[in-house]
Structure 1
Amino acid sequence: MSRLSIGFIGTGRIAQALISGLSHDPNIVICGYDKSHDALHSVALQYNVQAEESIEGLARDVSIIILSVKPYQVAEVMGELKHALHGEHLIISVAAGISTGFIEANAPEGSRVIRVMPNTPAFVGEGMTALCKGAHATADDLLAAEQIFNAIGKTAVIDESGMDAATAVSGSGPAYMFRIIDSLAEGGEECGLDRQTAQLLAAQTMLGAAKMVLSGRKSPEDLVREVTTPGGTTEAGLKAMDEHEVRQALVETVKAAASRSKELMK
């Protein structure tokens, strides 16, 4: 990665995960601004981030600005940021449901915007980030954003029309996985395991299963067939899942989250 100057507006959980992943690269200068002076001070000390006193000051010191604030805060932030922007700035937004068009409309004409949706496994270097570019962003801008977010896991470039779905699958997805792990552990506990062991079995099994899918050699359904013996324990478990319509419940879970992502723009 060539030398970059990156400024974070908002230093919450996702920002901290990304800062943690980037802070080991000597070619990156990181600045931060947060309304909470205590939060900013803590992040500055922990990750050697240059604390900025204002949004305008941050914009003067960096070429890439990452909007890591809540969706409802984006309009207010852009109101403060707009007059400090110039043609050299690349704006990257992690705000769920906020389109590149909305940010462009609140920025100087021709502003380059990349929209991303990372997730919380970024904290352990296993994040999944979907990216799309706005009307004026270039291929080089997209590559720069990919390089930044590859520091905390994997990336996928998609059309903006797919961002609500990506938010539902991977942005909100960790919560679904946590719920599944917790449920599997509860089942193990009811069958006689202690909670700690059951949770370890469930979590490590999910991690291993995910790695098998990511290897790309076989589809999830192919892997299901491989591990399922007629009349065996796995078949019995899958039958119970089907009887309780677990598959459809998860499909509806994603659809509900995607619908809410769409509503955030209204």
Structure 2
Amino acid sequence: MTRLSIGFIGTGRIAQALISGLSRDPQVSISGYDKIPDSLHSVSLQYGVNAEESVESLARDVEIVVIAVKPYQVAEVLAELKPALRARHLIVSVAAGISTGFIESNCSEGARVVRVMPNTPAFVGEGMTALCKGAHATADDLLAAERMFSAIGKTAIIEESGMDAATAVSGSGPAYMFRIIDALAEGGEACGLDRETALLLATQTMLGAAKMVLSGRKSPEELVREVTTPGGTTEAGLHAMEERDLRGTLVATVKAAATRSKELMK
């Protein structure tokens, strides 16, 4: 397997999740730079990351540069990075709402860029990352990025036109799942369970249901039909959901998040 040398500009939460997964791969060397010294020092101690003194020194030492800062900081980072970029560099951006075109226009001509949208379950090795390539990135570049993010979960390669939707479904999606779990647990409490038991029942049930869908054997609707007995408890619960249009609410939730993602890019 090809050795990867990866440098992180920004060592916040998502960067740390990725670093934690990559640090287990002996074929990966990791460097980092952060304007907050304490953050970089902590990551360096915990994962053996090579702490760099500047963006320029990081670029000299790596072939893959990961932009892991807040969206509003990207332009400033690229201004620092541009003089140090060489033909060997692949730029991977995890900044929400920042297009590959924006990054390319703020880098050297022909810059190879892959844009990704990971999510917070990466912290437990169950992340979902959408990837798309810029105008100059190659198939090998996509494979390298996919290898990186496979260290923290599953990946999907999509067209950039779908990134706002991916952001809305998987990037923001964990928050929706947390709300649903909390609501199910609250329902359990209302029916007489203690909080700890209700939360365990709700959480493990969502995990198991997700794994059944991921197995690919049956569609969500087929699985619903299998667990629903006419006149039974599940049917009663589904009827309450339909009366309150839970499906429509979740579709509207995704649309609202996707719209906001488009606005952020502007």
- Aligned residue for 2:136? 136
Letter in 1 for 2:76: E
Q: Does 1:86 align with 2:86?
A: yes
The SS at the match of 1:66 is strand
Q: Does 1:65 align with 2:42?
A: no
Q: Does 1:11 align with 2:11?
A: yes
Tell me, in whole angstroms, the C-alpha distance in 1 between the residues paired with 2:115 and 2:259: 18
TM-score, normalised with respect to structure 2: 0.99
Tell me, in whole angstroms, the C-alpha distance in 2 between the residues paired with 1:8 and 1:179: 32
Q: Does 1:231 align with 2:236?
A: no
Q: Does 1:99 align with 2:99?
A: yes
The SS at the match of 2:176 is helix
Tell me, in whole angstroms, the C-alpha distance in 2 between the residues paired with 1:122 and 1:265: 24
Structure 1 segments, 4+ long, off by >2 Å, are none
- Aligned residue for 1:148? 148
Tell me, in whole angstroms, the C-alpha distance in 2 between the residues paired with 1:73 and 1:260: 18
Letter in 2 for 1:15: A
The SS at the match of 2:265 is coil
- Aligned residue for 1:112? 112
> How many residue pairs end up in the alignment?
266
- Aligned residue for 1:51? 51
Aligned-residue offset at 1:154: 0.4
Gaps of 5+ in 1: none
Aligned-residue offset at 1:24: 1.0
- Aligned residue for 1:252? 252
- Percent pairwise identity: 81
**Deviation readout 1:199-250 (Å, 9 max, x if unpaired):** 0100100000000000111110111111111100000000111111111110
**Deviation readout 1:81-133 (Å, 9 max, x if unpaired):** 11110100000000111100000000000000000000010111100000000
The SS at the match of 1:264 is helix
The SS at the match of 1:53 is coil
The SS at the match of 1:108 is coil
Tell me, in whole angstroms, the C-alpha distance in 2 between the residues paired with 1:106 and 1:158: 23
Tell me, in whole angstroms, the C-alpha distance in 1 between the residues paired with 2:256 and 2:80: 33
**Deviation readout 1:132-180 (Å, 9 max, x if unpaired):** 0000000000000000100000000000000000000000000000010
Tell me, in whole angstroms, the C-alpha distance in 1 between the residues paired with 2:262 and 2:69: 18
The SS at the match of 1:211 is helix
Tell me, in whole angstroms, the C-alpha distance in 2 between the residues paired with 1:243 and 1:51: 56
The SS at the match of 1:136 is coil
Aligned-residue offset at 1:37: 0.3
- Aligned residue for 1:165? 165
**Deviation readout 1:2-32 (Å, 9 max, x if unpaired):** 2111000010110000000000111111000
RMSD value, Cα: 0.6
Tell me, in whole angstroms, the C-alpha distance in 2 between the residues paired with 1:37 and 1:99: 28
Aligned-residue offset at 1:265: 1.2
Tell me, in whole angstroms, the C-alpha distance in 2 between the residues paired with 1:9 and 1:263: 25
The SS at the match of 1:208 is helix
- Aligned residue for 1:184? 184
TM-score, normalised with respect to structure 1: 0.99
Tell me, in whole angstroms, the C-alpha distance in 2 between the residues paired with 1:35 and 1:154: 30
Tell me, in whole angstroms, the C-alpha distance in 1 between the residues paired with 2:23 and 2:265: 32
**Deviation readout 1:21-48 (Å, 9 max, x if unpaired):** 0001111110001110011101110110
Tell me, in whole angstroms, the C-alpha distance in 1 between the residues paired with 2:73 and 2:236: 49
- Aligned residue for 2:240? 240
Gaps of 5+ in 2: none
Aligned-residue offset at 1:253: 0.5
